Amino acid sequence: MSVNSYGEGYWRRSHQLPGVLVCPEHGAALADSAVSQGDGNQHEFIAADQKNCSPVAALPSWASSPRQVTLLQEIAKRSAALLDHPPVRFRDWGAYYRGAVIDRGFDKGKENVAQNLLREAILSLFEPVIDLIPGGLGGDWPTAMVRKHRKAFHPLRHVLFPIFLDKRSSQRRTAPPFGKGPWPCFNRLADHYGQNVIHEIAVRHDQDRVIGRFSCACGFVYSREVGSRSSPRILDFGPLLDDQIRQKVAEGLGLRAVAGYLAIDPGTVRLHASRLGLNVPWKPLAARHSRTLVPDCDAIRTRWLDMQQNYADLSRRQLALLLPKEHSWLYRHDREWLEQHSPTALHKKWSDQRVDWETLDRSMAIQLRKVAREITREVPPQRVTQAALERKLGRPRRMSERQVKLPKSIGVLGEVMETTDAFRLRRIVWATAELHRQALPVRSWRVRR
Residue 234 or 307 having the CB closest to Zn ion: 234
Residue 178 or 357 having the CB closest to Zn ion: 178
Say if residues 142 and 206 touch (Cβ distance below 8 Å). Answer: no
Q: What is the DSSP string of 290-311?
A: HHHTGGGHHHHHHHHHHHHHHT
Say if residues 350 and 198 touch (Cβ distance below 8 Å). Answer: no
- CB of residue 336 vs Zn ion: minimum separation in angstroms? 24
What span, in angstroms and rounded, lies between the C-alpha atoms of 160 and 133? 11
Residue 213 or 370 having the CB closest to Zn ion: 213
- CB of residue 133 vs Zn ion: minimum separation in angstroms? 52
- CB of residue 223 vs Zn ion: minimum separation in angstroms? 15
- CB of residue 191 vs Zn ion: minimum separation in angstroms? 9
Say if residues 198 and 183 touch (Cβ distance below 8 Å). Answer: yes
Q: Quickly count: other Cβ atoms within 10 Å of residue 269's Cβ.
A: 27
Say if residues 52 and 33 touch (Cβ distance below 8 Å). Answer: yes
- CB of residue 220 vs Zn ion: minimum separation in angstroms? 5
What span, in angstroms and rounded, lies between the C-alpha atoms of 34 and 21? 15
- CB of residue 175 vs Zn ion: minimum separation in angstroms? 24
- CB of residue 184 vs Zn ion: minimum separation in angstroms? 9
Pick from 129, 218, 294, 300 the residue near Zn ion by CB under 5 A.
218
**Orientation angle between helical segments 239-250 and 255-262, nearest 10 degrees:** 140
Say if residues 337 and 265 touch (Cβ distance below 8 Å). Answer: yes
Count of residues binding Zn ion (CB under 5 A)?
Answer: 6
Stretch that binds Zn ion, among 36-44, 219-227, 257-265, 270-278 (CB under 5 A): 219-227
Pick from 126, 164, 220, 222 the residue near Zn ion by CB under 5 A.
220
- CB of residue 225 vs Zn ion: minimum separation in angstroms? 20
Residue 145 or 197 having the CB closest to Zn ion: 197
Handedness of CA 424, 367, 326, 274 (dihedral sign): positive
Residue 82 or 240 having the CB closest to Zn ion: 240
Return the bridge partners of 204, or none: 211
- CB of residue 237 vs Zn ion: minimum separation in angstroms? 10
Binding mask 177-216 for Zn ion (x = CB under 5 A): --------x-x--x-------------------------x
Provide the b/e sequence for 7-42 (b: ≥16 CB within 10 Å). Answer: eebebbebbebebbbbbbeebebbeebeeeeeeeee
What span, in angstroms and rounded, lies between the C-alpha atoms of 137 and 15? 19
Residue 203 or 217 having the CB closest to Zn ion: 217
Q: Quickly count: other Cβ atoms within 10 Å of residue 329's Cβ.
A: 19
Residue 185 or 371 having the CB closest to Zn ion: 185
- CB of residue 251 vs Zn ion: minimum separation in angstroms? 24
**Vertex 232 angle, CA 227 and 237, to 5°:** 155
- Put residue 317 in one of left, alpha, beta given phi > 0 → left and psi -120 to 50 → alpha: alpha
Binding mask 132-171 for Zn ion (x = CB under 5 A): ----------------------------------------
- CB of residue 341 vs Zn ion: minimum separation in angstroms? 20
Residue 130 or 240 having the CB closest to Zn ion: 240
Alpha helices of 64-215 — where are they, by DSSP H? 66-84, 93-103, 115-126, 141-145, 155-169
- CB of residue 202 vs Zn ion: minimum separation in angstroms? 16
Residue 60 or 219 having the CB closest to Zn ion: 219
What span, in angstroms and rounded, lies between the C-alpha atoms of 324 and 321? 5
Residue 217 or 250 having the CB closest to Zn ion: 217
Q: What is the largest CA-CA distance in the chain?
A: 101
Residue 200 or 208 having the CB closest to Zn ion: 200
Residue 218 or 372 having the CB closest to Zn ion: 218
Judged by CB under 5 A, does residue 268 bind Zn ion?
no
Return the bridge partners of 236, or none: 221
Positions in the binding site for Zn ion (CB under 5 A): 185, 187, 190, 216, 218, 220
